[in-house]
Amino acid sequence: DADVTQTPRNRITKTGKRIMLECSQTKGHDRMYWYRQDPGLGLRLIYYSFDVKDINKGEISDGYSVSRQAQAKFSLSLESAIPNQTALYFCATSDGTSGRIIEQFFGPGTRLTVL
C-alpha cells in the first residue's frame, strides 16, 4: 500500500464550487505539505503543517484553506474554485524529528480542473 495517498486522483468542477482534497499518510511523519504544480513553474508551496496544532501559509495560500484533522490527515480546501486553480496538487510528508527536511515523500497527486 502507498505510504501517502490522495483522494480524489482526478476532479473536474465548476467555477464557484467548494472542493476538498484529502491526504493521508502511514509513514508516521509529523510534517505535511500541500503543493501545486503548473507547467514551467515547478512545485509551489500552498500550506504546511509541522504538527496538528501548527499550520502555516506557504507562498501561494490565497484562495485555499487547510485542516490537519490528525497527524496522519491533512486536507486542502478551495472555498470557491476558479479556473486558474486548475493544476496538479501534491501532498507531501517529512520526518521533522531530526530538525531537518532531509527528504519529502510525495503522494500520487490530484489533477484538478476548474471549468
Partner 1 sequence: EDKVVQSPLSLVVHEGDTVTLNCSYEVTNFRSLLWYKQEKKAPTFLFMLTSSGIEKKSGRLSSILDKKELFSILNITATQTGDSAVYLCAPEKGTSYDKVIFGPGTSLSVIP
> Which residues are near partner 1 by CB under 8 A?
4, 35, 40-45, 48, 50, 56, 58, 90, 96, 99-109
| Smallest gap from residue 79 Cβ to partner 1 (A) | 24
Residue placing its CB nearer to partner 1 in the complex, 17 or 105: 105
Taking the C-alpha atoms of residue 63 and residue 12, their distance in angstroms, rounded to an integer, is 17
As measured in angstroms, the least distance from the Cβ of 62 to partner 1 is 17
Looking at beta carbons only, is 17 or 43 nearer to partner 1? Answer: 43
d(CA 87, CA 51): 26
- Between 53 and 100, CB nearer to partner 1: 100
Residues whose CB is less than 8 angstroms from the CB of residue 37 and which lie 6 or more positions away in sequence, other chains included: 43, 44, 87, 88, 89, 90, 109
Residue pair 26/91 in contact (Cβ under 8 Å)? The answer is no
Residue whose entry in the numeric block shows the C-alpha cell 482526478: 10
Closer of 90 and 114 to partner 1 (Cβ): 90
CB of 93 to partner 1, least distance (A): 11
Nearest-angstrom CA–CA distance, 15 and 72: 30
C-alpha cell recorded at residue 10: 482526478
Q: Measured from the CB of residue 96, what is the shortest distance to partner 1 in angstroms? A: 8
